Chains A and B, each alone.
Chain A
Amino acid sequence: MPWKDRYTISDERTLDDSEVTWPEGKRCCFRIVVDLSPVCGPEGIKSADLATPEAFYGMNGGLAALRAVLDNHRLKATFAVPAVMADIHAGTIRALADEGHEIAAHGFKHEDVSLLARDEEQSRLKRTTEILAKVAGRRPEGWFSLARPGDKFAGGAVSPHTIDLLLEDGYAYFGNGLADDLPHWWVSDFATRRAILALPYYYHFDDQFFLLFPRKGTGLENPDALFRNWKAELDAQYKRGRQFSMVLHPHAIAWPNRLHMLERFLDHARGLPDLWHATSAQSARHWVTTFPAATYLKLEPSIWRDYPGSLS
């Protein structure tokens, strides 16, 4: 049995704060991910999911309001876009790309890939890459599998094949790593050191879990808690010289009271000297160059054993 079987990481310890560096002597990396999937279930986006007021707001008034705030703060974000959304809203996605935002993949239709056979997953992945490349004008470097509000676990789903399929298809990073608050190497095969760069995600910095979660009419509105989580994490990570990333959903964050809160937070972030405002792809490129797996992925020897009477 390989070391840490079914875990995602092999090396035992994260990089020390003092080892972390960012381009041009910047102090801390700051990253915004915008999820352009409407609310959907584990099967992914269905027709009914697109014909809702929230879905309409998310791709129209909500998105426009969020873009205006990003523009005002001169921030470029990573838009995680399901292939079907890129196809439906090709003009909007192309415009976002032309403005300098990053267009990353977010599944074929934001489905739970752990429910798919390998061939099916591979076929959807390749099709997604093609659609996004065509719509955005360049192929996506990163792949996200962000959580849906109804998911039992808030970390996003992967299948046993996802990481290998992403590597085979040439993806540079995977956007959902929960094992660190820095970019880190997600090991898919111990023997061959096969690994993909995972960028950190944590649901406490994802707006959808605070704004009438889990669904409108039944959830509680907690934008103040979201603001304090963002600010506390950014301040702590800035002090350490690490990184901060947040996930936004236009249908949620753009509503006036929330957008005002976001602006307050971005004002605070913009006030921190030497904060590196990067897209996910820029952050990944820096990491792959500066902390390559060849030198920084330390595989620990296998000592995990099976025991009679233990669950393993």
Chain B
Amino acid sequence: MDTSTELANDLAGGLDREIATLKAKAVDYNARHRVIENCTWPQGVKMAVNFTADFDTMLLRRLLNEPPSQLAKGEFGGRVGIWRLIELFDSHDIKATIFTPGRICELYPQAVKAAAKSGHEIADHMWEHQVPKDPELERDHLRKTIAAIEKLVGRRPIGTRSSHARQLLLEEGYIYTSEDSLDHRPNYTGDPDGARPLLNLPFHYAIDDAMFFSFAWLNSENSAQRMMDPDHVEEIWWQAFLQQYQKGGYLNVCMHPFVSGRALRIAMLDRLITRMKTLPGVWFPTCEQVARHILDAHPAH
């Protein structure tokens, strides 16, 4: 072979290797995830709607040394917002899921207890709103949160909104995550061979109050602030609900007490829920109820 042919073969081999590398990654990722294609609901239910609240009251901002006005903005969630959300859900006989950082159990114990007493699920939202990189510290944080929640409400959390490691969550008895938007339908994540599956109840940033109503959300530029009004967001969320209702699907509405707990937004949520309830067969359970139903009706294996 002459030199130019060798060079051409090398280049072709390089491209083949690049394709193989990309393909291996994609195949591995795809093999780890399985979407529940035709999720059915309990008798008489056409659609499940999970109202979920991330009860973080800007906790992370305190730990990041952000200024007092930022912390005060978050305090609204613990002082005012969470109570209004509990009242709103109770008035509609909705059981919600409150994803609660462990340290919030120290800051707002009365609110966490009141939510549990009303039948809302208290689930994990990390110890201090972040997952440590060190695996041992991560386990320590997860266990601290379990202990803090169990101490307040008398039972261990079995769901989380976090990126805690799947293996760790399974070891600690967790049955679901509600963390990401791999699909708009509930889905399983496991090993490539399907082992150690964990159910995920997806939420999407488009159905997250903080994306519409928050200023200075994690270092965003001032020109990118989210200053929308409730009517605008009500319509976006209503359209998401309606589309899934027609499909007999699933919707997870993510709220933050310091955002959605403002009076103007509680009024909007009240309208939205009232609208949803005009349609027959809408189920408003906790994430735990949805998870237990799916694990029974649509197990991973």
Contact = CB atoms under 8 A, between A and B. Distances in A.
B63 A155 contact: no
Given A7-B75, A309-B137, A178 B69 contact: yes
Interface stretch (A9-17, A30-38, A117-125, A265-273): A9-17
B132 to A, nearest CB: 7
Interface in B128-159: 128, 130, 132, 137, 140-141, 144
A203 B223 contact: no
A107 interface: no
A11 B141 CA distance: 27
B132 A309 contact: yes
Given A9-B79, A12-B108, A310-B127, A177 B215 contact: no
**Residues of B in contact with A, size category:** 35 or more
A222 interface: yes
Contact of B68 (A6, A150, A152, A235): A6
Contacts of B80: 14, 180-181
Interface in A187-207: 202-204
Given A114-B67, A157-B67, A177 B231 contact: no
Main secondary structure of the interface of A (DSSP, over half): loop
Contact of A232 (B70, B216, B229): B229
Main secondary structure of the interface of B (DSSP, over half): helix
Contacts, number: 150
A109 interface: no
Nearest to B230: A232
Contacts of A154: 69, 215-216, 225
Contacts of A151: 222
Which residue, of A177, A179, A202, A219, has the highest number of chain B Cβ atoms within 10 A?
A: A179
B213 interface: yes
Interface in B42-94: 62-63, 66-73, 75-76, 78-80, 83
Given A240-B263, A304-B107, A178 B72 contact: yes
Interface in B250-272: 262-264, 266-268
Contacts of B229: 224-226, 228-229, 232
B72 A214 contact: no
Nearest to A203: B215
A233 interface: yes
B207 interface: no
Contact of A13 (B68, B83, B141, B216): B83
B165 interface: no
B263 A153 contact: no
A47 interface: no
B76 A179 contact: yes
Given A9-B72, A180-B76, A310 B227 contact: no
Interface of A: 4, 6-9, 11-14, 114, 147, 149-158, 176-181, 202-204, 209-210, 213-214, 218-219, 222, 224-226, 228-229, 232-233, 235-237, 239-240, 242, 303-305, 307, 309-312
